[in-house]
Structure 1
Amino acid sequence: MISCMLLASLTTTPSSVQKASPGIPADRIIDWSHAGVRMNGVRGILQYPVGVTCVLPAYRVYPNQSTDSRAGIQAAIDACPAGRAVYLPAGTYRLSGQITLKSGIALRGAGAGSTVLLSSATNSIQLGALALSNATRCDIIGGVAKDATTVALGAAPPSACTVGGFIMIDELPDHDVIWVRDSYRGTDSRRHVFLARITAINGNQVSFTPPNPYPFKSGSIPQARFKAASRICSLSGVEALTVSGSTDRGLYFCETDRCWSKNVEVTGFQGGHGMVQINRSLQTEIRGCYIHDCADYPAQPDGYGIMLFYDSCFSLIEDNIFDRTAAAIIGEGTSGNVYGYNFMRQVGRISWPVVMYGINGNHGPFGTMSLTEGNIMCQFENDGYHGSSSHQTLFRNSLNGLSYDGYTRLRWLVNLARASYYHNCVGNVLGDPSWAPNKYEMTVANGGGGYDVSCVYKLEYPNDGNTDLVPATTWTNWTAPFPDARVRDTLIRHANYDYYNKAVVYEPGKDPDIPDSLYYSSKPSWFGSLDWPAIGPDVAGLMKSIPAKLRWDTHTSTRNLPDLFPR
């Protein structure tokens, strides 16, 4: 168990969501302050004191770049008591295989660039392991309402249903908001999924946290699966080091609970499944990291920075720097996440020489109720390939359409493919003074356009790259015609400044005043002396800097790696 004394050392930040924002109805808003690490209701990454120092002769570690240190580092992790950190001093350590963390510890270096792990392994540092896919399914009585924290099972809970364990709820696609690609068959088609931590069991009633972000319908046959607390890697993290490699996934969070990466450099990995992957995990936090230079950039096939893989919920990806990757963040069927205040510089690949997206909100089915706030990036999209997405919110971001590779094609700042329904785009700055969009929106009705036609919004097409109406993939029971006018009809666009109109565009009848944040109640302490809010139509000059961008600017002058990380 984690000592109660550690609660006083949590890095706390006051936060609570605005339950309804001017311009966004309450049924499109959730309490995003649940995203990221929490313990006993207090938000913030735990600060473990050092319990084990990983040095010779106690552990066979060799900071000489050449001798394998994997076994020695693993032995130190295995020996570390819960509530403590393994400290790995400065040096470059060779890893011939994977390092696996256990619950309740941190692996901490002397700082990125000082403690360096050179890895030849896939999943170089892994937290957790898969088990829920094969877990027994239990029927749920009725549906599960938005914001619900309790379900009723149709029978007694299985032995894997324990307090502190996972409940994973899913349902069949309703073919109203939820669709999946034809290749998703049987139980694999149940792609609306919510993962939560069990707080109480009373007969057939199971209570959980965080609250459910999006309703499950009784007619879609909701079911639950469970994973016992004893089988979950929880409250563990990787801190203040560099992990460098050339295979896939430098950091791999796999069915973890409230785990983190803080002030970590991740570089050189292929990124086919993400240089960092979060797979079916709850309340993961990636903070203050520098994720850059995927293998073979810009000639790589994929090279994603962070991939949030299926069923991950309430992740917090905040205050990070991305450079020389494909999409900095890509979501695959995940919900309730916050992508906040990240700086995404150079993203792309030469196999597709166009302006690419900083965030792909949904690549796999079905993602919903995630918040993208305060980021500086080139573009945002949902790509329409593997399934639908709904209720995503873009708030106070700068989407500038800039490519540091020099590309100008596909400048489509907000690109929402088919079945991107009930999205919200509020308080953003769309474009950049250095170029002017050709159109406000690209739709079939206003003449469409090719890759050389730039726009603020591209809507209604089957996929992200389409300029015609031929989908790249087929979806089960998809009968709507193209263009998919419902994308445009359900999109809220309010209080955004764009460089086509060179003005703020408001929706008629909506309050022009917008809150500072949708998940902070006040300026967070880590923003320091910078202006808050930093981006928006009500900000002088439209935008100021954010901490991640300020660190990047400092680094471009000093070329000092530590300047890229929070102090």
Structure 2
Amino acid sequence: MKVTATPRPSLVYFLAAVAIAVTGAALCTPSRVAAAGNETSNFLPADRATTWKPGMMAVGGIPARSTLCATLSPNNPASDDTVRIQAAINVCPIGQVVQLTAGTFLINSGNYLVINKGITLRGAGPGQTTLAKTDGAKPFQSEVGAKPSPLILVGPSLFSSTDNVSDAHGSTNLTADAVKGTYAVKVSDIAGFRPGQIVLLDEASGAEWLSDPQGRGQIWASSDGRVVWNKHKPTVQYVDDFAPDAFPTTPQTAGSWFSRPDRPTAEIKQIASIAGNTITFTTPIHISYRSSHTAQLSMYSRPHVMNAGVEDMKLTGGDAGNLRFNWAAQSWARNIDNTVWHDEGFAIHSSFRIELREFYVHDAAWAQPGGGGYAISLSAGSSEVLIENGIAVRANKVIAARSAGAGSVIGYNYMDMSYINTQGSWIEAGLNASHMVGPHHVLFEGNYGHNADSDNTHGNSVYLTFFRNHLRGIRAPFDNQAGGRIDDATQSRNGPQRAAGLMANSYWISFAGNVLGAAGQMGGWVYETSFAGGKPGIWMLGWDAVTPYPTDAKVSATAIRHGNFDYLTNTVKWDPAIADHTLPDSLYLAGKPAFFNAGRGYTWPWVDAAGPTKLYALPAKARYDAGTPFTQP
């Protein structure tokens, strides 16, 4: 059966209108090497490869700020600390640090901190400094407080000031196609645009009623398959998007939760220069935007907050997320213990080059679908995000991308134990850059995940790449919030079990150099499976969870599977159409990152599907296993 859930009523407006943001944390300074990813690769075709140089990589890494503008301790006796901290933030000069001492700071009564300029909010460490909302989210409770709010917002506002969730305005048409891999666009009007500005590039979906290849009447999709909304005519119960505003209308407003209406394919850019009617960006375009689809470049109604950071603290109890990046750019979170939240632990909305490092996001308050308990979310065009060397466990979705993700990298994280707290037998997606139409050109490299998948709950994603990951196919055993034990290895009812899955309409997805499955635990597994087949499988491509469980054959036909090893057949399988069997060490790093030298030191790459030793140790997983999420053993 397919699990469906309606968002909690108190969150419906919030999900439709709030600006959603993402953060991360760092344990050590990464090596800032030039990105290896570019527009070509020895195994990725040009339409699938891109330049992956996300987060703070292009600007030399996260700055090491040392000048303190204020040092604050918690109120004694304990009382709400918001006003004092916000006052210090407001007067702190750009480039300096508001330092919080050890102790618990209360952020209650609907209050939240707003970092609206390029400063750093820093604690004494995630085991010493805590920001807590004690009247907010509680473990295993669906209720929110009287005034749902996050703990920290990096950005100008929680909400859009325009009629769209992206907060875009001043749009101008492109007079020629924006070509993938190039840096410039030609526009009809340059008024209002300036160098340094953060802008939105998008196009209309071109969707229309087409014959559904799965045999369910007609589906709302573009003819090229780039955009496929999960909506049918006639409506299909338990399949179609449940939200009232998700169905096609005239004019088309379908799926406008996380994009401008009918413009889910998008990316955020920064303007480098303007000459005549040509606007040049600082980074290359990740997918072509077509003038035949009314491609446009738009300004934002307010400037993005740039060069802001949150470091070295614990966050707990946010009932509209814990840490949100809304309309932020070149900003970061590192060394953050993020727990017990509603909505998203880290949310990244309409943001550019956000970096999350050495984070530990875990134990959502209410691990349910419908946006109620996601660990990390990218939305509304957020682009070139780096999520690296972190831990994300025990949430409904450990990561999701909703009309966002272009040029982003999820690298070297331990991501496991996605679940539904009231239905623990359902195995949720693990490494996942989907959940709303529009995500494209996201790289998953070097992660340890219980599976990879691309869900089509609201619509599809395209051109994702999974490179040198361990996709185990089995969640680590864990206790759910209801007092039960979840153990995929011993509970045969748990499913669907797959190491690498892609739901219907997930097109042009690439898997290379991955290790799939778990040694000694593949009894009863098959190599290729379907949801209807009911057997655990290494691959479950094009699957659908609603009767009669049709398979979308185009998913497998457009997938690249090259140089992957699996523990069922104990062989490496290569794509016969690709002659080159030499895989690079990385698609975005030029050399071994510094965090692999921390602690006892670790072999890199740690996943070597074609080598004699398939798996070494992932630093983030080693920290989790040692019970020291912020200290490298």
- 197-206 or 96-105: bigger deviation: 197-206
Unaligned runs of 5+ in 2: 1-27, 137-147, 207-221, 232-245, 254-259, 478-485, 489-493
2:383 is the counterpart of 1:316? no
| Match of residue 375 from structure 2 | 305
Aligned letter for 2:360?
A: Y
Shift of 1:246: 4.7
2:57 is the counterpart of 1:84? no
Match of 1:285 among 355, 359, 368: 355
| Match of residue 51 from structure 2 | 31
2:334 is the counterpart of 1:262? yes
- In 2: Cα distance, 1:173 partner to 1:426 partner: 29
1:234-280, CA deviations, whole angstroms, 9 ceiling, x for partnerless residues?
A: 1101000011115121000001111110001111102x3x1111001
Q: Is the 8 A contact 1:551 1:564 kept in 2?
A: yes
Shift of 1:323: 2.1
Aligned letter for 2:533?
A: G
| Match of residue 541 from structure 2 | 459
Shift of 1:346: 2.5
Shift of 1:189: 0.9
1:22-43, CA deviations, whole angstroms, 9 ceiling, x for partnerless residues?
A: 332233111112x1114xx433
Shift of 1:181: 4.5
Shift of 1:165: 1.4
| Match of residue 565 from structure 2 | 497
1:478-489 to 2 correspondences below 5 Å: 483-489=551-557
1:86-130, CA deviations, whole angstroms, 9 ceiling, x for partnerless residues?
A: 111111111121100022101000000201111245221001134
- In 2: Cα distance, 1:180 partner to 1:565 partner: 43
| Match of residue 154 from structure 2 | 127
1:390-409 to 2 correspondences below 5 Å: 390-403=462-475, 404=477, 405-407=486-488, 408-409=494-495
Match of 2:273 among 183, 197, 200: 200
- In 2: Cα distance, 1:396 partner to 1:134 partner: 37
When residues 383 and 345 of structure 1 are mapped into structure 2, their CA distance, relative to the original with a 3 A threshold, is: closer
TM-score for the superposition, normalised by structure 2: 0.78
| Match of residue 430 from structure 1 | 516
Aligned letter for 2:227?
A: I
- In 2: Cα distance, 1:257 partner to 1:305 partner: 20
Aligned letter for 1:195?
A: I
Shift of 1:167: 1.6
SS in 2 for 1:219: helix
Unaligned runs of 5+ in 1: 1-8, 470-481, 556-560
- 163-172 or 176-185: bigger deviation: 176-185
Match of 1:101 among 115, 125, 129: 115
- In 2: Cα distance, 1:237 partner to 1:150 partner: 30
- In 1: Cα distance, 2:364 partner to 2:29 partner: 32
2:186 is the counterpart of 1:169? no
1:8-27 to 2 correspondences below 5 Å: 12-19=31-38, 20-27=40-47
The percent of aligned pairs where both chains have the same amino acid is 28
1:63-92, CA deviations, whole angstroms, 9 ceiling, x for partnerless residues?
A: 66x311100010111111001111111111
SS in 2 for 1:368: coil
Shift of 1:338: 0.4
SS in 1 for 2:356: strand
Q: Is the 8 A contact 1:63 1:92 kept in 2?
A: no
Q: Is the 8 A contact 2:31 2:594 kept in 1?
A: no
- In 2: Cα distance, 1:330 partner to 1:165 partner: 27
Q: Is the 8 A contact 1:63 1:93 kept in 2?
A: no
Q: Is the 8 A contact 1:263 1:288 kept in 2?
A: yes
TM-score for the superposition, normalised by structure 1: 0.87
- In 2: Cα distance, 1:63 partner to 1:374 partner: 45
| Match of residue 152 from structure 1 | 186
Aligned letter for 1:521?
A: A
- In 2: Cα distance, 1:211 partner to 1:266 partner: 33
Shift of 1:18: 4.2
Match of 1:379 among 436, 446, 451: 451
2:228 is the counterpart of 1:179? yes
- In 1: Cα distance, 2:314 partner to 2:462 partner: 36
When residues 24 and 63 of structure 1 are mapped into structure 2, their CA distance, relative to the original with a 3 A threshold, is: farther
| Match of residue 476 from structure 1 | none
- In 2: Cα distance, 1:117 partner to 1:146 partner: 43
Shift of 1:11: 6.0
**Number of residue pairs matched?**
521
- In 2: Cα distance, 1:316 partner to 1:100 partner: 22
Aligned letter for 1:489?
A: A
2:79 is the counterpart of 1:52? no
Say what the alpha-carbon RMSD is for the aligned residues: 2.3
| Match of residue 11 from structure 2 | none
SS in 2 for 1:456: strand
Match of 1:239 among 306, 311, 336: 311
| Match of residue 348 from structure 1 | 419
- In 1: Cα distance, 2:369 partner to 2:554 partner: 37
- In 2: Cα distance, 1:294 partner to 1:345 partner: 13
Q: Which has the higher contact order (CA 8 A, sep 6+)?
A: 2
